Every structure is written in C-alpha cells, then in structure tokens.
Amino acid sequence: MSLYEKVLATLADGAEMPKPRPPRASAAVVPWRVDADGGLEVFWVRRAATMPFMGGWHAFPGGGLSRRDRGVEVPGAPLSVDGTPEDGGFPEGLTAGLDEVAPNLLPGLVACAIRELFEETGLLPLAREPGASPDADGLETARKRVLRRELGVLEAARELGLDVDASRLVWAGRWLTPPLGPLRFDNRFFLLEVPASSRLQPAIVPGELDHGEWLTPANALARWRGGEVLAAPPILHLLQVLGEDGPVAGLPRLHRPVEADLGPHRKVEFRPGVLLFPVATPTLPPAATTNSYLLGFGECVLVDPGSPFPEENDRLLAALDAAREKLGRRVTAIWLTHHHPDHVGGVETLRRALGVPVLAHPATAERLRPMGIEVDGTLEEGEVELEGSPAMRLRILHTPGHARGHLCFLDVDRGSLVAGDLVAGFGTIVIDPPEGEMAAYLGSLERTAALRPRTLFPAHGPTLLDAEGKLRETARHRRWREERVAAAWAAGLRDEGEIVERVYEDLQSQARPLAERQVRAHLEHLGVVG
C-alpha cells in the first residue's frame, strides 16, 4: 500500500461526514428587453478565462457581497417579493451547513446587485430616464472610480444626476453553489428590464469579463447544447423559464425552482448527458467531496459512487430514482475510474440497491479484491455506445500514472471528458510510487490532450471549460517541477526532504510526506534512483 493510500485509509477510518463550507452571499442581475420583433432577449456575459472561479463560463452580471454593500440603503429597497428571498425552495439536505440569513441582509444584497451591474455593464436601475443622454465620459469615469472603491455606486449616480430605484429590480430566485470545492456562493437573482430605447445600454470593460451580448434565451440554450458555451444550472434554468414563460408569468417557477431538483440533489448538468452529484467522502483536503457522474440520455452508467456514508448513498439513490422518473435516465452499470477508497466507498451499497454490475480495469479489479469488492466485468480500451435519445458514444481510455488501472471516459460527440484523478479541479494529483508512476502519468496527460477534449469533469473540484488546455498546462507544470528536482539533485541534494525544501514553496507541514513521494516519483522518472 502506498503512502497516499495509507493517508486515504486513515481519513476513512471512523470518519464523520464532512460539512460543506459556508457559501458567500452574492447577487446577480438578468437584464432583459423586448426586441423589434416582439421577442425576449437577455444580456449575458462571459467571465474572463483567467478568472480563478468559473473562468470562461457564461453568466449574468453579478458578484459577491462586500462589507460596504451591507450598510447601503438603496432607494426602493427592501423589495416587495412574492414570498421571502430566504425561502429558496431547496431540496431537503441541500442547505446543510448554511446559516439562516439575517433579515437585514436583503438591502445589502440589493446594493451588491446594483454595484456589480454597474461595474460590469454600466447599467443602473433608474427611477426615470434622464432628460438627455447620460454623459458617456462621466459615466466611464464614475465606473472606474467605483471599481477602484473610491466611491459608492449611489454616490456616482448622484454626481451624474441619475436617480437609482431598486424597486425596478424583480426578485428571481436563490441558488446555492454545490459543494464542488472550497469556493461556494449563495446567490440571489434579480430581473431588470432594459428597453432598447433606453439611453443607458450595457457595455463591457475588459477585466473580470471579456464579452457580453444580447440574445434570445433559445439561442443561448442552443449554444450550450452545441458545446459552444459552459453555464451553471441557475443560468440554464433562468434561460429556460424566461424563454418559455417570460419575465412575468415565469416568476413562480423562478422563485421556487423545484423542477430543477433530482430528489435531494439539485440538477447539475454543465454539459448535456453528464449529470454531476458531489458526494461527501473522506478524501484529501481541501477536497471534501468526490464527483459521481451519471453518463447518458437513456441507458446510463454511474461513475465512482465514492461515499462510504449511508446518508450520502441514500441521497444519491433518491437522485438516481428521480433522474429515471423525470429524465428517463436509468443506471445499467457502475464504472470505476480506479480503486482508491474515495472513489469506491459506496460501490457495494449502490450495486445492491440498483442490481447492476460493477466494471473496472483489470488492474483496478486486482486492487479491489483485497478490499472486499469484486468486479463483475472489465473495461478495456475502446468505444461503448449507450442507447438513448440521443445515444452516447463513450471512449474508454486507460490513463495510468496516478493508479495503474486508472480510466477516463470521453463523450466522443460532445468532447466531455470524465477524468477521475487524472486532473483535479483545484490543486494537484498525487503520484506516489510504486502505484504511481510519473512517466506513465505524463504520457496519459499528453495522450488524452491529443484527443482535444472540450470540457473536463474531474473527480474533485469544479468542471473546467478548456479541457485540452488544462491537460497540457498540467503536463507543463509537472515538467517544470521536475526540472527543479533535477537541479536540486545536480546541486548535490540526495535527501528527498531536502529536495522538497528546495522545490516547493509555502508547503503546509501535513502535505510534506506526500510531497516527498512526489519528489521520489520525479527522481525515478529522471532515472537517478531505482
């Protein structure tokens, strides 16, 4: 057993189910208008690819609540809403670890929504249209000052002779970021009508965003289905409801989006045919969950049910029941990416409950047998077609390095790569000899990148938009680290602990033993140790 596996086993021994980190309050605004033909359009934006959270994703203008927002009383706030903003209609269990929102937080969230809207688009909810066109230079200067935190958005509006009125914002629901990683948001959405005749029109200043455009909800959803864009569940739900019912009749669906639930989980489908269920596992921090995936549109496979906690498996089974009833997606097999405990903790429970076979690479089957898990069949390189409307062609890829039997699964037609522990959504993957092998790992990264996948679904952390780029960047980072290890060896360092001190910065003490194993993997790849 490798050190990494011993660490995972220690974490799993008597572990209690981890609680998700509390989310940060945030707010977003959906600008909408009626076009010349009487159709509805919305203005959405693309986050810059360099942003650490959801870089390159499409969203609506918004961001996190700041301390300055909390003390701001906006004319027209608090809003009159149908029901309370704190009642989001969440599935049971989704709000675990979420503190009750203080009643006085709503005005601050309104201030946050207005500030983010102005910073990102230059729009403001005005009580009345200005008598003349707003001074473009004055607006731009005010926007820059607000971005630099030199003055507040209400002060900026007053200097420009503009009257802000929060009552023009229409409450449109509350969503929580699923526990995919350390960064989560408790997001409130508002609608704002921006008539085409309005003198204030949205404009993007490059920075956190790199693009914005008006388009119909149907067009936006078509681009998502075609793989051109990546968007989070609340964005997709808003687009669907606005496209079907409009900004008035659709409000009840927006206030309580229970149609987006799959039992106790909210539906998370960043790309068509890939349902994501983050389940709590005793895994390596900062991760606290392992992503289990349901792949397909009819006949489906469940990938990596990793939680050993009965309550998590009950929630996952309820979600799978709902996916079958509401979406027609039925589990026909369980597929495993590899044998590590945080990927197989729920296998026996799910196998018995679903009555389906468990399939894995032969090397994984060999490693699971001493753990009391028998594999019913093997997964080898090649393509498998899952029946459905549409069918899904999955290419099975043997990607050793982290584990000898490690597999990835590529949706051939849509470019979605379910990557297991080939790449993490945050942090790095441990390569611990003898199970881990650096040469094999680098080869797996390069071979998988050559297939040019579009979207990467890791086992830990959020979905990544540029799959090919992430794979290549990971390989470059490993080679860069290996160059530093080689330089330390050439300088005469022989102790792996001393090399760690030379090649790693700001390493936490608890991570040091695994860092030494990474150094060992690099030294073996360099051929200087056996």
Question: Among 76, 251, 247, 83, which residue's Cα sits nearest to residue 167?
Answer: 76
Question: Among 514, 12, 20, 16, which residue's Cα sits nearest to residue 286?
Answer: 20
**What tens digit of pLDDT does each residue of 295-327 get?**
999 999 999 999 999 999 999 999 999 999 999
Least confident of 129-133, 287-291, 449-453: 129-133
Strand partners, 292: 277
pLDDT attached to residue 2 = 81
388: left (phi over 0), alpha (psi -120 to 50) or beta: left
Structure tokens at 281: 């596992």
Report d(CA 170, CA 154) in Å as an integer: 19
Instruction: Provide the pLDDT confidence category of residue 6 given band limits of 50, 70 and 90.
Output: confident
- For the residues 375-383, what does the mean pLDDT come to? 96
Report d(CA 57, CA 208) in Å as an integer: 11
- For the residues 278-286, what does the mean pLDDT come to? 90
pLDDT of residue 71 exceeding 80: no
> Which is higher by pLDDT, 379 or 66?
379
pLDDT of residue 381 exceeding 60: yes
**What tens digit of pLDDT does each residue of 158-209 get?**
888 888 998 899 989 889 888 887 788 888 899 999 999 888 899 998 888 9
> Which is higher by pLDDT, 13 or 350?
350
Instruction: Provide the pLDDT confidence category of residue 69 given band limits of 50, 70 and 90.
Output: confident
Where do we find the tokens 């203008």?
61
DSSP state of 279: E
Question: Among 274, 295, 278, 296, which residue's Cα sits nearest to residue 287?
Answer: 278
Handedness of CA 162, 165, 171, 176 (dihedral sign): positive
Q: 10-14, 103-107, 436-440 — which one is most confidently predicted on average? A: 436-440
Buried b vs exposed e over 474-509: b needs ≥16 C-beta within 10 Å?
bbeebeebbeebbebbeeebeebeebbeebbeeeee
- For the residues 120-139, what does the mean pLDDT come to? 81
pLDDT attached to residue 87 = 43
Report d(CA 314, CA 321) in Å as an integer: 11
pLDDT of residue 78 exceeding 90: no
pLDDT attached to residue 131 = 65
Asked whether 125 and 96 are in contact (CB, 8 A), the reply is no
- For the residues 65-87, what does the mean pLDDT come to? 65
- For the residues 60-73, what does the mean pLDDT come to? 87
Interhelix angle for 310-327 vs 347-354, to 10°?
40
- Which of the four CATH numbers 3.40.960.10, 3.10.129.10, 3.20.20.70, 3.90.79.10 does domain 24-226 have? 3.90.79.10
> What percentage of the chain carries pLDDT values higher than 90?
66
Cβ count within 10 A of residue 36: 6
- SS3 at position 226: coil
pLDDT of residue 94 exceeding 60: no
Report d(CA 120, CA 505) in Å as an integer: 35
**What tens digit of pLDDT does each residue of 17-30 get?**
777 777 888 999 99
**What tens digit of pLDDT does each residue of 39-60 get?**
999 999 999 988 877 889 999 9
Report d(CA 317, CA 330) in Å as an integer: 11
Report d(CA 145, CA 454) in Å as an integer: 38
Least confident of 196-205, 355-364, 403-412: 196-205
Asked whether 373 and 358 are in contact (CB, 8 A), the reply is yes
Asked whether 290 and 460 are in contact (CB, 8 A), the reply is yes
Instruction: Share the mean pLDDT of the chain.
Output: 89
What residue spans define the domains of the chain?
A: 24-226, 269-526
Instruction: Provide the pLDDT confidence category of residue 416 given band limits of 50, 70 and 90.
Output: very high
pLDDT of residue 227 exceeding 70: yes
DSSP state of 256: S
Asked whether 309 and 17 are in contact (CB, 8 A), the reply is yes
Fold that domain 269-526 belongs to in CATH:
Metallo-beta-lactamase; Chain A (3.60.15)
Strand (E) or helix (H) holding 420: strand 416-420
Structure tokens at 388: 């459905």
> Which is higher by pLDDT, 107 or 430?
430
Structure tokens at 333: 């097999």
